């Protein structure tokens, strides 16, 4: 732990999945990864079981899956990517935000192109007339 972290943290304060662990040992780091793995497996099994069961009202299934997906992303960010509120995590958060921005731009641009594709295409009858002329 850096001097800044020691001066600006509560005694014993540690984020879930933080790679320092309680004692900073290798075993504590592995324990964090195993907890993250177990949570990921539980969330994945829950997602598959929600789709295959009648316990949830059918129109509510997409909402439940979205909630479980966000929880899964949170588990991955905290336990595997070690994104937390610490000062040493600022660059990771900025890199993550930039990645999300790029993905949103690609998905948004693709959806925009697909939505406007019909108006930019040549009508089928004109295309067939062009083809028959040659």
40-51: burial string, b at 16+ Cβ within 10 Å, e else: beebeeebeebe
CB atoms within 10 A of CB 84: 17
Domain boundaries, the chain: 1-85, 88-134
Name the nearest CA neighbour of 85 among 77, 102, 3: 77
- Total-model pTM: 0.60
Structure-block tokens of residue 22: 């309680």
Tens digit of each residue's pLDDT, the chain (134 residues): 555 555 555 555 566 555 554 456 788 889 999 999 999 999 999 999 999 888 889 999 999 999 999 999 999 999 998 888 778 788 888 888 999 999 999 999 999 998 888 777 777 777 777 777 76
CB atoms within 10 A of CB 91: 8
Sign of CA dihedral 20, 24, 30, 35: negative
């Amino acid at each position: 732990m850096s001097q800044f972290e020691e001066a600006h943290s509560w005694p014993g304060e540690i984020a879930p999945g933080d790679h320092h662990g309680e004692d900073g040992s290798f075993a504590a780091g592995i324990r964090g990864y195993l907890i993250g793995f177990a949570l990921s497996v539980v969330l994945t099994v829950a997602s598959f079981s929600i789709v295959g069961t009648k316990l949830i009202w059918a129109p509510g299934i997409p909402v439940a899956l979205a909630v479980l997906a966000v929880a899964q992303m949170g588990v991955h960010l905290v336990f595997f990517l070690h994104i937390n509120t610490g000062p040493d995590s600022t660059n990771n958060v900025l890199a993550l935000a930039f990645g999300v921005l790029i993905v949103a731009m690609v998905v948004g641009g693709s959806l925009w192109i697909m939505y406007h594709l019909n108006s930019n295409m040549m009508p089928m009858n004109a295309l067939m007339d062009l083809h028959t002329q040659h």
